[in-house]
A = this chain, B = another copy of it.
């Protein structure tokens, strides 16, 4: 079943993205980074968090392909990389669209079912 294989593949691919964005701290970082690229320190400060902690979070975002780290002197500039996010949006879009069609059909089916 081609369709199913494709779904699974898609899911595996997006796994790190979903997990990365599951943490509210990391989502806040993403929001911050959507304004402009920041150094690790700049990301840590408003969260009142240690450099090491922030660095770990950035590592997770980086592994998910959401953020790219660029050496800049002795500091690291974190830059958003929207590709992974687009993929995630597509995943969600795919299913929500699918459901919409299904749900209409389902409501219909349930009604007919309860009529018998």
Contacts from A to B (Cβ < 8 Å): 7, 11-12, 15, 18-19, 21-22, 24, 27-28, 30-31, 34-37, 79-80, 82, 85-86, 88-89, 92-93, 95-96, 98-100, 102-103, 106
Contacts and interface: CB of A to CB of B under 8 A. Distances in A.
B27 A11 contact: yes
Secondary structure type dominating chain A contacts: helix
Contacts of A106: 36-37, 79
Copies of the polypeptide in the assembly: 2
Contacts of A103: 80, 82
Contact of A22 (B19, B80, B95): B19
A96 B87 CA distance: 10
20 contacts: A7-B31, A11-B24, A15-B24, A18-B18, A30-B95, A31-B95, A34-B95, A34-B98, A34-B99, A36-B102, A36-B106, A80-B99, A80-B102, A82-B95, A82-B103, A85-B95, A85-B96, A85-B99, A89-B89, A89-B93
